[in-house]
Chain A
Amino acid sequence: MIKAVSGRGAGAAFAIALILSACAPNVKIGAFAFYTPPAATTAREPIEITANTGRQALDIVAKTLRADGARITAKSTRHLTIEGKDTRNDRVACGTITQSAPEGRSTFAANAERAVLFDAGAPGGIKFRLVDVETRFRLTMSRPVNGVSTGALAQTHRVTIRTTTADQRKLLSSQTLTFAPGARATFDDGTVCVSSGQLRKVLAR
């Protein structure tokens, strides 16, 4: 009986999710594509590192960040801070683009490093859409209390969206916006980017 009720509940939740996704504000991009902005950012996970000393906590987070592809530019064992940057595009979420070209339909993340857009105005009917992301961060660890050090993370994302012709890579448009977590960066082409919280998730694992 309980199973039946939970199954019905799950079905209702699924139906509501479907309706909500259908109601998501879609923006038309050109003749062939629709843009869906990213969902609101999720709750922030606390960064807690098990360590006996602040220095040990710092070494652990530095190792974790490096393993994830980040570059450490400054490290202070005195102030228990780490500064660095990384260029992974998944540090931001920019929604999705659904493209219905004459030959087929596809949906892809709007923060994809490189995508082909079908555009009747572009030479040959296609152009490149290129997204570069640079995230700068500063992490301050606390002195461990009961063997746990907590971290305060500050970060800034710098996102550049460019379009070029497909054949000669001639620049058609370029825009760069810088923003911090909690903010929404809105580009001229309608793309909205927010912090994905991915860097925090890497540290909170």
Chain B
Amino acid sequence: MRAFLMVLLAGAPGRTVAADRAETEVWSQAMTSNSPEAYFLYLSRYPTGEFVELAVAALIRLGALGSQVTAPPPAAVAPVVPALPQPVEPVEPVDPY
């Protein structure tokens, strides 16, 4: 019994595995939800976690980080049609008088 308690208190490998599983679970939920709130939830619970970089990348992609300059969606941009070259007409000399 004492040995069992010692293992529990010492933070045995089994506990680490359980912690990893919990983190993976929160990360999976964040990916499924794919919302800023879900990614912020992951970051607040696991600020040094394995998926921190991915969570921040997702927040950038969603435009949830303040300074991020988001490009307007392609549909909102009017297509730019390149101007066709105009046929050049021969210029006749003009008599100034």
A contacts, CB < 8 Å to B: 99, 101-106, 108-109, 112-118, 123-126, 165-168
Contact = CB atoms under 8 A, between A and B. Distances in A.
A125 B52 CA distance: 15
Most chain B CB atoms below 10 A, which of A104, A112, A125? A104
13 contacts: A99-B47, A106-B44, A106-B46, A108-B47, A114-B48, A116-B52, A123-B68, A124-B65, A124-B67, A125-B66, A167-B59, A167-B60, A168-B67
A24 B46 CA distance: 24
A130 to B, nearest CB: 11
Nearest to A125: B66
B20 interface: no
Contact of A104 (B41, B48, B68): B41
B56 A166 contact: yes
B25 to A, nearest CB: 14
Contact of B48 (A105, A108, A126, A167): A108
Across the A-B interface, give the 6 residue pairs with the lowest CB-CB distance, nearest first. A124-B65, A101-B44, A123-B67, A104-B44, A103-B44, A123-B66
A116 B67 contact: no
B40 to A, nearest CB: 5
Contact of B47 (A116, A167, A168): A116
Contacts of B52: 114-116
A115 B48 CA distance: 5
A104 B45 contact: yes
Contacts of B44: 99, 101-106, 118
